[in-house]
């Protein structure tokens, strides 16, 4: 994902949905001519999540969202050895960024935005209910 695409999350997500993609994994470009800046990366992730959480839970798998929900559910996260500064980070238990501290600000913005939704999905799953029920709850508001 380069900086141009990252500035158009709606277009990117709708194109992937229309192509029939069911498993998505967004990888930011951090070097080269069009690297993604942390703030833009955070905006990209939160805007994609905002669409996904209302329309596609259980239909489209987004790796970061799945991994984040697994963290909220207390499942072991696959992480490389943490950088010293990562060890005290508030997002550490959810972070799957493989010590990519260039984008920490963006990931933290995503974790902060997604937290209330993740809590509801976690609680639904604890009650043996599908996380997809969140979509109906959001439509009621």
Residues 3-140, CATH architecture = Alpha-Beta Barrel (3.20)
> Is the predicted pLDDT of residue 86 greater than 70, yes or no?
no
Supply the pLDDT for residue 76: 65
Domain limits, the chain: 3-140
Q: Which helix (H) or strand (E) holds 3?
A: helix 3-6
CA atoms of 121 and 123, how far apart (whole Å) = 5
- pTM score, two decimals? 0.85
Task: Tell me the average pLDDT across 126-135.
Answer: 97
């Amino acid at each position: 994902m380069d900086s141009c695409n990252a500035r158009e999350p709606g277009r990117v997500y709708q194109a992937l949905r229309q192509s029939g993609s069911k498993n998505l994994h967004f990888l930011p470009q951090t070097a080269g001519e069009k690297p993604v800046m942390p703030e833009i990366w955070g905006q990209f992730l939160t805007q994609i999540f905002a669409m996904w959480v209302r329309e596609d839970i259980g239909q489209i798998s987004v790796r970061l969202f799945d991994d984040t929900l697994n963290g909220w559910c207390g499942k072991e996260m696959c992480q490389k050895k943490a950088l010293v500064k990562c060890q005290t980070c508030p997002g550490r238990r959810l972070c799957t960024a493989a010590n990519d501290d260039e984008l920490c600000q963006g990931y933290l913005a995503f974790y902060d935005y997604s937290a209330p939704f993740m809590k509801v999905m976690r609680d639904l799953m604890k009650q043996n209910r599908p996380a997809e029920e969140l979509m109906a709850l959001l439509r009621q508001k």
